[in-house]
Amino acid sequence: MIMNKADVCNTGVCRPGGFTITDRAMEYCRFNKGSKLLDVGCGLGATVRHVAEKYGLDAYGIEKDQEVLEQAKAFPQSHRLQIGDAVHMPFGDEELDGIIFECSLSKMKSPGEVLGEAYRILKPGGYLIVSDIYARGEPAQLCGLLGRVASRENLCSELESSHFSVELFEDYSELLRATWGQMVFEYGLNALYENLKTDCCKMRKVKCGYCLTIAKKEVFMDDLTGPGMGG
């Protein structure tokens, strides 16, 4: 059985632990009310609605799948969602206080370009929030529901090479196990591996985990002084 996004995200909340990790990120970043955030790969917009309603943030989402955005119109605040490409995000330079990637950065074909674009639209000192799968064993490139499964070291190195300073890394692999356990209960083990497009031997080597990584856009002297403001 091939599961589509509607099967996996039938509640509109499509990540391990629901909003547990999202709330932890908001607690850490302590955004002021009215801060402008973007959810990249927003799906049906659950995170956008959550942070707007619970934390008073000016939140938006971009999603590349037009069909998903059509489905999102059934939910409140769908006007905050728009079609968008993560390599060419529809925002100005240094416009955002925070960017969220929930289960999406690992699916990007050009993560370096995506992080470069994130750097462009974030304010100096703005937060980049990544909650995603990672390899506790061997890194892998999968092509089903999952994508690139990078190691913790590779993920942090990738962020740092894009001029983000990693401030927090927390493991939430138990939430991933619970999510996959529920999928196995509902659809069966064979369906899970079919949709991951891999097998149990490969997954044992990868030792797939789930993490929250928070990084801050590095501030350079030019950002602090601005044109004509230097000494």
Q: What is the pLDDT of residues 12-70, one digit of tens each?
A: 446 788 899 999 999 999 999 999 999 999 999 999 999 999 999 999 999 999 999 99
Measured distance between the N- and C-terminal CA atoms of the chain, rounded to whole angstroms:
65
pLDDT in tens, 66-122: 999 999 999 999 999 999 999 999 999 999 999 999 999 999 999 999 999 999 999
Query: Which pLDDT value is given to residue 201?
Result: 81
Using a pLDDT cut of 70, give the percent of the chain over it: 86
CB 216 within 8 A of CB 128: yes
Residue with tokens 């190691």: 151
pTM value? Answer: 0.86
CA-to-CA separations, 202 to 10, 112, 171, 221, in angstroms, rounded: 28, 26, 21, 46
User: Which residue type sits at 77?
Assistant: Q
CB 99 within 8 A of CB 40: yes
What is the chain's mean pLDDT, rounded? 87
Angstrom distance (rounded) from CA 231 to CA 221: 11
pLDDT in tens, 172-187: 999 998 887 777 777 7
Tell me: pLDDT of 8 over 50.
Answer: no
Q: Are strands 96-102 and 140-141 parallel, antiparallel or unpaired?
A: unpaired
CB 1 within 8 A of CB 25: no
CB 43 within 8 A of CB 11: no
Read off the pLDDT of each residue in 187-202 and give the average, rounded to a whole number.
72
Tell me: pLDDT of 225 over 70.
Answer: no
For residue 143, give every residue at least 6 positions away whose Cβ sits within 8 Å of its Cβ, in sequence order, or none: 197
What the chain holds in terms of domains, given with CATH numbers, is 19-174+208-216 (3.40.50.150)
Residue of higher predicted confidence among 208 and 182: 208
